[in-house]
Every structure is written in structure tokens, then in C-alpha cells.
Amino acid sequence: MPYGLYFSIAGLGIFVAAALWPPQRPRVLANITYILGMVINEIPHYGALLLAIWLGISIVSGDFGTPADITVAVALTALVAAGLFALGWRARTSRAIVAARGVVIEATPYFASSSLRATGSRECATDAELHANRDP
């Protein structure tokens, strides 16, 4: 039995559950779940890649003793992958919601402190306008 794989999947599952947790909870628990779910919420495809690598290495190295072990590992991986898919879908649809409200975030090639700014309008400045307004 690949206990390391099971613990890795469970750990990633905790991060995914923290990112998907509903917002009605006590403040201390809200802070903990925010910290746990922050990274995986931003890059769920990285978590899916880790799951695939972990499961692939365990299958290739022959860590599984019985076919039931493989079934349990694949089922747990599929459950966490479904949560990662839900996070990715939520991130995909949130961009449309922000755009519908009229807030446009534009990236500028300047300093880190001013790399993102909300314009409040539906139109972004073009590259030529950004370079024309740049301070020397």
C-alpha cells in the first residue's frame, strides 16, 4: 500500500477543500482556510499536475499490492481532481463577472507597485497609449 501517495493526495485534498469551503464560518477558521486554500485556488492546474505525477510514479514503480489499492488511489485522485476542476471553472467564470461589472484590470510594464490598476471603464489603454504616457 502506498501510504505516501495517500497522505499526499489527502494533503492536497485538504487544500482544495479549504479553497472550496463556503464563506459562512467563524473568523479564525476563515483565516486558516484562506491561508490553506490561497495557493491552490490561484493555480489549480499545478495541483492537477502534481496528482498525475504522484499517481503515475506510484503505478510505474509497482507500489500497489492489489488491484483494490489502485482503485482506491484512482478514486481519491479523481475526487481531488474534481475539486481542482471546480476551482478552475470558478476562476474562469469570475473573469466574465468582473468584466460585466465594468472593472477592467490592465497590466502595465512599469513598476511592481503599479503593475495592475483598475480603470473603472470597459476600455483598456492600448500599448501605444501606455508607452506614450510613460515617464522618462
Average pLDDT of the residues of the chain: 77
Q: Residue 112: its pLDDT value, please?
A: 44
Separation CA 45–CA 84 (nearest Å): 7
First to last CA, the chain: 63
Q: Residue 135: its pLDDT value, please?
A: 53
Q: Residue 40: its pLDDT value, please?
A: 87
| Of 79, 77, 81, the residue nearest 46 (C-alpha) | 81
State the cell numbers at 89. Answer: 471553472
Separation CA 54–CA 90 (nearest Å): 25
Separation CA 67–CA 135 (nearest Å): 65
Report, in this order, helix, strand and coil percent for the chain, each rounded to 5.
70, 5, 25
Q: Where are the domains of the chain?
A: 3-93, 102-136
Q: Residue 105: its pLDDT value, please?
A: 58
Q: Residue 121: its pLDDT value, please?
A: 47
Provide the pLDDT confidence category of residue 25 given band limits of 50, 70 and 90: confident
pLDDT exceeds 50 at position 15 = yes
Q: What is the pTM of this model?
A: 0.66
Encode pLDDT of 72-124 as tens digits: 999 999 999 999 999 988 877 766 666 666 665 555 554 444 444 445 444 45
Once rounded to an integer, what is the mean pLDDT over residues 41-57?
91
Cβ proximity of 124 and 104 under 8 Å: yes
Separation CA 112–CA 45 (nearest Å): 25
